[in-house]
């Protein structure tokens, strides 16, 4: 994993050209305001995405936690499901957190017919870490980071299998809790809670690399 471009790098000091990075947060349901604040603290220009045209000009998109089936129903009603799939196919970075990780997965255990985007080759089990009353925090080691991240698990899904080409960035009790493949990332916890912005800073870095590859920003000197 490349520390300068991967979501696993997490060092805000490494983020380059961040003033030119435009990142969307899907703002249909869930903790999108907290994600917006963390991305802005990390130097990005943030757009709340509610319609397909809001994706234009973005380098990345965060799909926040909430209720996965509700998120997808709302996405479909606005035509955002196909728009986000096209956005990812064109090289845009997408990061799904908690319920967003379910939305981007290719398979949902016990709910094979639940609509999803299928952007990263993983299977997930909904609410596998317990209900709301079973929420917990845990320190997880992240590949490439010197210090662990305090992850907040709230009705979190469990990643039950990963496909070839999917890299595990962090584990809890042996299970993957953060994975990435290409420009797609999924974390089953809530990185926007707790005041540690390293995941958001690293995503801003990844989006800066997307912008540079597209020629949206000049390389750093």
Catalytic residue among 35, 59, 172, 192: 192
For residues 87 and 44, what is the distance between their CA atoms, to the nearest angstrom? 19
**Phi and psi torsions of 18, nearest 5°:** -70, -20
Q: Is 207 a catalytic residue?
A: no
Instruction: Specify whether the CB–CB gap between 64 and 101 falls below 8 A.
Output: no
Classify 174 in phi/psi space as left (phi over 0), alpha (psi -120 to 50) or beta: left
Buried/exposed code over 124-157 (b: 16+ C-beta within 10 A; e: otherwise)? bbbbbbeeeeeeeeeebebbebeeebebbbbbbb
Q: Is 190 a catalytic residue?
A: yes
Q: Is 98 a catalytic residue?
A: yes
Catalytic residue among 35, 54, 172, 190: 190
Catalytic residue among 98, 172, 200, 207: 98
Enzyme catalytic residues: 98, 190, 192
């Amino acid at each position: 994993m490349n520390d300068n471009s991967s979501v696993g790098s997490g060092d805000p000091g490494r983020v380059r050209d961040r003033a030119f990075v435009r990142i969307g947060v899907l703002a249909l349901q869930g903790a999108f305001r907290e994600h917006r604040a963390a991305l802005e603290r990390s130097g990005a220009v943030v757009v709340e995405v509610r319609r397909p045209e809001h994706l234009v000009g973005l380098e990345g998109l965060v799909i926040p936690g909430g209720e996965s089936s509700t998120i997808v129903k709302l996405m479909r009603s606005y035509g955002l499901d196909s728009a986000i799939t096209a956005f990812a196919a064109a090289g845009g970075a997408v990061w799904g957190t908690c319920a967003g990780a379910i939305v981007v997965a290719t398979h949902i255990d016990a709910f094979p017919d639940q609509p999803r985007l299928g952007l990263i080759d993983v299977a997930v089990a909904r609410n596998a870490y317990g209900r709301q009353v079973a929420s917990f925090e845990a320190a997880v080691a992240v590949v490439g980071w010197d210090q662990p991240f305090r992850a907040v698990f709230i009705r979190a899904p469990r990643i039950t299998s990963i496909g070839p080409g999917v890299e595990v960035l962090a584990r809890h009790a042996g299970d993957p809790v953060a994975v990435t493949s290409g420009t797609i990332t999924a974390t089953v916890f809530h990185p926007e809670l707790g005041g540690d912005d390293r995941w958001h800073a690293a995503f801003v870095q990844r989006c800066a690399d997307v912008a540079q590859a597209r020629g949206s920003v000049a390389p750093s000197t």
